[in-house]
Every structure is written in C-alpha cells, then in structure tokens.
A and B are shown apart, each in its own frame.
Chain A
C-alpha cells in the first residue's frame, strides 16, 4: 500500500534521509527543549530531571518499558500534565501553564479517541472548526486529509462502522489536519495486527517526510522505534539511558539495559586483561582459558569486571573450528534449537554452564540440518561483532 506519494518525492526522500542529522550540527536550534524536567505524582517520580532536545522535521521515538515515564514526557508536551520542575519550550516559547487547547501540538491517541457520535468527516474537521476556519478551507483540508490516508469513500461513516486499521487512519488524519508543529503519537499501532503494523510504519514515515513535520512517537516496541525513527531515546525509570540513531542504539548500546532492551542479546561477564587503542582483550568468566578480543576503544582498566554484549546474528555456530585464527572462539554443546523458518536459533551451553544464543540463516532447503541436539560445536565471532559494556 502506498500513500499517494509520487515517485519524484520518493526519490528526494532518500537524499533527505541520508543527510538529515541536525543533532550533529552545533548551529541547529532545537524545536522542542526539555530542560531539567521533573514530574512527580505524589511520591512517585515519573520523570527525573530530564533534558532533551528534538529538532524540526525529526521523527523521534521514546522507547521504554511501561512505567518508564515516556508517556508522561509526551503528555507534558501536549499539555495534559504540567512538569513539577523544569521548563519545556516549543519553538522558543515556554509551554508550562499553556492549556492543551492553546498549544500547537496534536496527538494521536492509543485508543484513537474518535468521537463516536460524529462521522469520519466531522472527526477530521473538528479541530479546524475550533479554529474558526472558513467553510471552503475546511472542506478542502478534510478532502486532502482523507486522500492522504486513502479514506475518501468512508467520509460519511461513523467510527464504529470502520475496521481497526481504518480507525487508526482517521485518528491520524484528524491529528494531522491542523498542521501542528509537532505530531505526538502515543503507541499508535499497538492495536493493529503484525502485518498491518509493518505496512503502517512505512506509511507513517512517508507521510512524515511528505508533510515535513516533526513526529514524536511513544512506543514499547523496539522494532517499531527502529523502523520509523531518526533518533531513539531509550528510557528507564524516568531517565534517558541513551539517545541516538537506531543503528547506534543497536550496534553500540551504552549499557546492559539498552543492549538487553533493544533486540536480542547475549551478555557475557568478563574481566579486562589489556587495553590498547582500538582493542580490548578480555577473559570471559564462562570460559576462563579463552581470551576474547573486541575491537573497541574502552575506558575500562585491566582487572575491571565488564560485560560483553553479543547479538545472536553476529555469532556463528559450526561443527568445525574457524580457519581464521583472528576470531574469538569458544567450544560448547547444543542445548536447544529454535527453528523459525528464515533463521534457526541455536542455544549453546558453554563449559561453565552459561548458555548463549546464535542465529544462523537457513540458506538451503533442508529439513534435516547438519547441526543437531547435543552436538559439540564451535561458537565464534569476529572482534568487531561484540561490544564491551562498563555499566
């Protein structure tokens, strides 16, 4: 399903996506600034002295488990909550104390919150009518929005006469109709099934690019955040743990928490042996006779206890030892196999009793695979596959 984006704009999108990085530009002025924001509900601290800058045209994702404060952070921008301390500015204007109906942000709610007694058309026109826009302009804008979300034929329907996916589109059209400075999306795709969700993610990205708007999305689904966002902020207990581009979050997590929360990961405890520029040598606790070399600058000192984060898809499982002696290698025994169709996940037990997961793409059409339960195998990975985590 495309979103009516022409081929020409699609071509320019690629160029914009490749070069878009205002967060690296010291001259860039952020559109949204959270400055030392704290929000308490009685004793509970939902957001803890948090500062964050979000730039214009950015697709920004707040990612974290439920109760981490991500929704509160968004609701403070919409005006449904006021911060206990700190300042929030939008385009240079202090927002604290401004009621939601006077803010230039619009929100798409998790429950969609479509007005059940109004038709699709009236739902989309609602915000425009509040602005006392003239009739002709309202009609034109609603038509445009219906076209954008491909619901022209459903204008007269009531929300309960629509399917879940259609309701989601109406909610999106309604929140976009006023052309807000920032669109807030609160778990927007949570109620859709997996296939529809994936399609809609790409549609959201296209719409965001086409309209050139700033989107802020709240989600607990890391795949969703990785797919749609320019930058992701991983949150835990009211604080930001890491804010960066999806690939950096995934490949260079800054802590066990991020490595564990985003994607599948093996975390191996290890002790630092030597530290050189661009290379760390470690002694894994699970296989003390082995030495792992990780290509990374590291602040740790020899003797420190650290963790190595290894993504399953970056580990290889073979019956024969690797030919290249430069790779890190450890022997183990197959504990369990998960066949997923495209991949098989091998659970390998290392001598110390620690189990690691390694993913292997199933490249050939074979029902009987060469590696099976209780086989002695070699698990290996190159020095640039793992990350040393000091926190």
Chain B
C-alpha cells in the first residue's frame, strides 16, 4: 500500500472540509465582530455576547427549548424503548405489521405533514396550544428514532442472558431492570441524545404546534433573521455550536477509552 496522500486526495479533502465548515467558521468569526454590519470587519469584541445575555426574549426561548427537549427526550426514550422491545421480543402478534408501520411512519413523513396533522388534531380536541403541544408533537416524531436505535441493539442481544437470570430465580420484571436495561443502556442513552438534539433544532413542527407564550429558540432565531441577520444571532449560534462540539468530543473520548480498556482487558485475559 502507498503511504501518504496524492494531490488529488489532498484537494478533495480540502474542498470537502471547506464546503462543510467555511460557513460555520465565518459565523463564528463574525460573532466576535465589533461592527454592527455583519459583512464588515471592525475589530475583535465580545460585545454581542453581552448583548445576547441581556436579550430576555432569546433567553426565554432558549429556556423553553431546553425544557421541551429534556421532557421530549425522556418520554420518547421510555416509549421508544418499550416499542423496540415489543417489536423484537413478541414475535408475530396480531397487528404487528400495523404497529411497526405506525412506529416508523414519522421517520419518513415530511415534517410539514406531521406538523399540520398534529395542529389539526390539537384544534379538533380543543387543547390550548403552547409548551405542552410542542412537547407532545416532539415526542411523537422523535420516538421512532429512539426505537430504531434501541431495536438495532436488541436484535444482537443474547436472549440466554435473560433466561439465565430467570433460571437463577429472578422474576421477569426484575430481570428487565437488572440485566436487560444495563446491557442495552448505551443504546438507550444514544436514543435519548438523538431525541434531545432533534427536539432542540426542530423548527417546522414547533411552528405548527406552538401557541402564544411558547416560542422555541429556532423559532425566535428564524423570526429575527427575517428582519436581518444581527451579530447577536451569530453569537447565539456560536454558543450552540460550542455546546454540541463539546458533547460530541466528550462522547467520542469516552467511547474511545472504553474501547481501549476493553482491548487491554482482552489481551490480559488471553495472556493469563
């Protein structure tokens, strides 16, 4: 195998990264711009970050978003995990195809349609739209993602582990909590994080299902951008990017460490 990269490889990687990251880098740079004009550089400043923390509307929106995302992720994880267990464990029950279709429909449904149909439902049953309707809508569309992630783990789960627990005198209910759940926990946590981020940046469904007093961050940003991009928005986005980056890095370091630990342990076992 040849070592090093040909000029073709280098160029394509450079172009690829440029295409993906130049917009983000620009956004980050201009969030530190002293000028009010987004496109004119007038020196370094953290002014817009101060401004941002004085913007009560944006802070309120951020708080609503976090609450919605947290609640959504938690409920969707519970429901999605239960759906995944039902689909993998209970074989061919009546209505299985229908059930599995219903669970996965939101995965392929255009967001506009999901949003619109939920809006019609909420209007029909006459619920006051706001925080709770957004949360319900988000649970509906994120649950299937959790279900997919957990199901893919359950498919490779060795059933004899549960049988061993039952055989040793553990009731089925306890077996789920002391054996099954701890083993599939990484998948459940991934599912939770996936649901959390999906809820965090959803604009379309939130717009359809919201009401007075409940504005999420993406909605607030979008409505402000319509009046022109302000450096304040750049600052808000930079903070979001920073949070996401930190989380991703932490998770990958943790995974990497676990992997190394496991390999070390296996070498140890093989030796001794």
Contacting residues, chain B, for A131 (C-beta < 8 A): 169
B169 contacts A113, CB within 8 Å? no
In this assembly, does B110 line the interface, its C-beta being within 8 Å of a C-beta of chain A? no
**Mask of B239-272 contacts with A, CB within 8 angstroms, 1/0:** 0000000000000000000000010011011101
Q: How far is the CA of A181 from the CA of B163 in the complex (A)?
A: 18
Closest to B159 in A: A113
Q: How far is the CB of B217 from chain A (nearest CB, A)?
A: 37
Contacting residues, chain A, for B179 (C-beta < 8 A): 115
**Which residues of A108-128 have CB atoms within 8 Å of chain B's CB atoms?**
109-111, 113, 115-117, 126-127
In this assembly, does A339 line the interface, its C-beta being within 8 Å of a C-beta of chain B? no
B269 contacts A100, CB within 8 Å? no
Query: A116-B183, A160-B266 given as contacts; is B164 within 8 A of A101 (CB)?
Result: no
Q: How far is the CA of A138 from the CA of B262 in the complex (A)?
A: 29
A101 contacts B169, CB within 8 Å? yes
Contacting residues, chain B, for A162 (C-beta < 8 A): 269
Q: How far is the CA of A126 from the CA of B269 in the complex (A)?
A: 23
B169 contacts A115, CB within 8 Å? no
Q: How far is the CB of A158 from chain B (nearest CB, A)?
A: 7
Query: A115-B179, A163-B270 given as contacts; is B161 within 8 A of A106 (CB)?
Result: no
Query: A111-B160, A163-B269, A163-B270 given as contacts; is B262 within 8 A of A100 (CB)?
Result: no
Contacting residues, chain B, for A116 (C-beta < 8 A): 161, 183
Closest to A166 in B: B269
In this assembly, does B167 line the interface, its C-beta being within 8 Å of a C-beta of chain A? yes
In this assembly, does A93 line the interface, its C-beta being within 8 Å of a C-beta of chain B? no
Q: How far is the CA of A214 from the CA of B22 in the complex (A)?
A: 72
Contacting residues, chain A, for B272 (C-beta < 8 A): 163
A160 contacts B262, CB within 8 Å? yes
B169 contacts A109, CB within 8 Å? no
Of the residues A111, A127, A160, A166, contact of B168 by C-beta under 8 Å:
A127
For chain B, the bracket of interface size reads 20 to 34
In this assembly, does A130 line the interface, its C-beta being within 8 Å of a C-beta of chain B? yes
Q: How far is the CB of A309 from chain B (nearest CB, A)?
A: 38
Query: A99-B166, A101-B167 given as contacts; is B160 within 8 A of A160 (CB)?
Result: no
In this assembly, does B136 line the interface, its C-beta being within 8 Å of a C-beta of chain A? no
In this assembly, does B170 line the interface, its C-beta being within 8 Å of a C-beta of chain A? yes
B164 contacts A115, CB within 8 Å? yes
Contacting residues, chain B, for A78 (C-beta < 8 A): 163, 167
Of the residues A109, A161, A166, contact of B163 by C-beta under 8 Å:
A109
Contacting residues, chain A, for B160 (C-beta < 8 A): 109-111, 113
B169 contacts A117, CB within 8 Å? no
In this assembly, does A107 line the interface, its C-beta being within 8 Å of a C-beta of chain B? yes
**Which residues of B119-172 have CB atoms within 8 Å of chain A's CB atoms?**
158, 160-161, 163-172
**Mask of A95-109 contacts with B, CB within 8 angstroms, 1/0:** 000011110011101
B167 contacts A107, CB within 8 Å? yes
Closest to B262 in A: A160
In this assembly, does A355 line the interface, its C-beta being within 8 Å of a C-beta of chain B? no
Q: How far is the CA of A281 from the CA of B203 in the complex (A)?
A: 94
In this assembly, does B101 line the interface, its C-beta being within 8 Å of a C-beta of chain A? no
Q: How far is the CB of B164 from chain A (nearest CB, A)?
A: 4
Contacting residues, chain B, for A80 (C-beta < 8 A): 163, 166
Q: How far is the CA of A80 from the CA of B183 in the complex (A)?
A: 22
Of the residues A127, A161, A163, contact of B169 by C-beta under 8 Å:
A127
Of the residues A100, A117, A163, contact of B183 by C-beta under 8 Å:
A117
In this assembly, does B182 line the interface, its C-beta being within 8 Å of a C-beta of chain A? yes
Q: How far is the CA of A377 from the CA of B160 in the complex (A)?
A: 55
Contacting residues, chain A, for B269 (C-beta < 8 A): 157, 160-163, 166
Q: How far is the CB of B32 from chain A (nearest CB, A)?
A: 46
Would you give 6 A-B contacts (Cβ < 8 Å), ordered by A?
A100-B166, A101-B169, A131-B169, A160-B262, A160-B269, A163-B270
With A78-B163, A175-B167 already in contact, 14 other A-B pairs whose C-beta atoms are closer than 8 Å: A99-B166, A101-B166, A106-B167, A111-B160, A113-B160, A115-B164, A116-B183, A127-B168, A130-B170, A130-B174, A161-B268, A161-B269, A162-B269, A178-B169
Q: Which of B's residues lie within 8 Å of A, judged by CB?
A: 158, 160-161, 163-172, 174, 179, 182-183, 262, 265-266, 268-270, 272
| A-B CB proximity, top 4 nearest | A127-B168, A130-B169, A113-B164, A113-B160
